[in-house]
Structure formats: structure tokens, C-alpha cells
Structure 1
Amino acid sequence: MKTLKNVMLINAISSGATGLGLAIFPKAIAGLFETTATMPFIEVGIFLVAFAALVFSVSRGNPMNARAVRLVIVLDTLWVIGSAAIVLFQPFPISVIGYVGIGAVALWVAAMAYLQSAGLRQMSVSK
């Protein structure tokens, strides 16, 4: 169970740091994506900070709430599916670096979802 707590803490920190970066430096990120639109980066950043707070809160539970962990896994999975659709269909006029970045973040989030799922299974076995 300690592993699940650690994975969730890593998820919270990485999500929060990414969210803060997007919200605080939207012009720089927009430049990498070769777009002038900054609001989508701010909005995603705010969402990620809120998500990070949720994940952190769930990670501190003792014992952890399995339903809350599943919610985090579902949200991570939806992020991966949405990112995959964006990379596959490329609906936005952004740079290759932008699409590669979206894909790289999706891989990280997929790893978090996988590790959290494994931790949740381990938590169920140890009960």
C-alpha cells in the first residue's frame, strides 16, 4: 500500500507542477506549440492543479479510499484517451513539438494509471 501512496504522491506532484507551469507561463508554452492562444493552457493548468489537489488528498488517506483511487485512475485514463485522440487526429494548428509533448505527457499519465491500478489490486489482495 505504501507503493500506491508513493505513486499517487508522484502523480500529484507531477500534475501540480505541470499545471502551475501551464497556468503561470502560458505564453512560453504557446510559443512552443506555435500558437498565440494562451487561454487553453491556463485552463488546463488550473484543471491540473485542482486534479493534483484531489490526488494528493486521496494519497493521504489512511487507509486509502479505494473508490477515490479508482476515480483518479478513471480521470487519468480519460486524459490518456483524449490525448491519444488529439495526437491521432491533430485537430489543432499546433507544432510537431506540441503534439509530441501531448503524447509524452499521455505516456506519463498512462504509467501513473497503470501503477495506481497495480497498487489498487495489491491493496485489495492485502485486505
Structure 2
Amino acid sequence: MTNLKNVLLINALSSGATGLLLIEFPAFTAKMFGVAASLPFMLIGVFLVGFSLLVYYASRQNPLSRNLVRLIIFLDIVWVVDSLIIVIPQLFSLTFIGYALITAVAAWVGLMAFLQIKGLKETFSLKTE
């Protein structure tokens, strides 16, 4: 059985760590992506730190909030779709490394969404039995 609280905690930690890296090193990240502007990376980092706090809060709820977990899953799916919108047509003329990183993060976020969906089904089907 997937432990939904653990998956949420992993999502919170990975999102928070990524966010902090983007906030701390926006110019380095921009250079790696082959763009001049570093502000978008910092803003994405701020979003990710906020998101990670929301996910951490959700992971500590007892009982878990079905609607809050659904919101987190929705936001993860939006992240994956937005990443595909950038990568498939190769928007913004990024470097290969930039597109590869976007793809890798989207795969990770997709995995988090999948495990959260599985955990949500398991958690709430157990309560109805």
C-alpha cells in the first residue's frame, strides 16, 4: 500500500529543495538554460517553496483532507502539462540541458501525481470499507 502521507512529504521536500535552489542560484540556472533573465527562475522558486509548505501542511493532517490532496494533484498535473507545452515545441529556445531538466522534473512531478492518486484511492477506499 502506498502511504499517502509519505508521498506528500517526499513531494514537499523535493519541491522545497528545488525552490530553494532556484531562489539561491537564479543566475546560474538561467545560464544553464541559455537565457539572460534570472527573475523567472527566482519566481518559480518562490512558488515552489509556497507549494512545498502547502504539501507539507497536507501531509501532516489527521485525517488527510481529500480536497487538499486533490488540489495538490491538480497542481502537479498542471505542472506536467505546462512542462510539455514548453518542451514539445521547444519554446523559449532553451539549451538541451534546459529542456532535459524540464523533462526530468516533469517526470518526477508526474510520478508524484500518480502516487498521490494511488494513495488517495487507497486511503479513502479503506475508510469506506
- TM-score per shorter chain, which class? over 0.9
Work out whether 1:110 is the aligned partner of 2:120. Answer: no
Corresponding residue for 2:12?
Answer: 12
Runs of 4+ in 1 over 4 A off after TM superposition: none
Corresponding residue for 1:29?
Answer: 29
1 CA distance for matches of 2:54 and 2:89? 30
Corresponding letter in the other structure for 2:59: S
Once the two structures are superposed, what CA deviation does each residue of 1:59-118 show, in whole Å capped at 9, x if it has no partner? 100010000000000000000000011001111021010001000000000000000000
Gaps of 5+ in 1: none
Gaps of 5+ in 2: none
Corresponding letter in the other structure for 2:101: G
Aligned residues: 127
Corresponding residue for 1:73?
Answer: 73
2 CA distance for matches of 1:24 and 1:89? 29
- Checking the alignment, whether the CA contact within 8 Å between 2:2 and 2:122 is kept in structure 1 is no
Once the two structures are superposed, what CA deviation does each residue of 1:21-72 show, in whole Å capped at 9, x if it has no partner? 0011001111111111101100100000000000000010001000000000
- Checking the alignment, whether the CA contact within 8 Å between 2:7 and 2:116 is kept in structure 1 is yes
State the SS of the aligned residue for 2:120: helix
Corresponding residue for 1:44?
Answer: 44
Q: Using structure 2 for the length normalisation, give the TM-score.
A: 0.95
Identity of aligned residues (%): 50
- Checking the alignment, whether the CA contact within 8 Å between 2:7 and 2:115 is kept in structure 1 is yes
Q: Using structure 1 for the length normalisation, give the TM-score.
A: 0.97
1 CA distance for matches of 2:34 and 2:75? 28
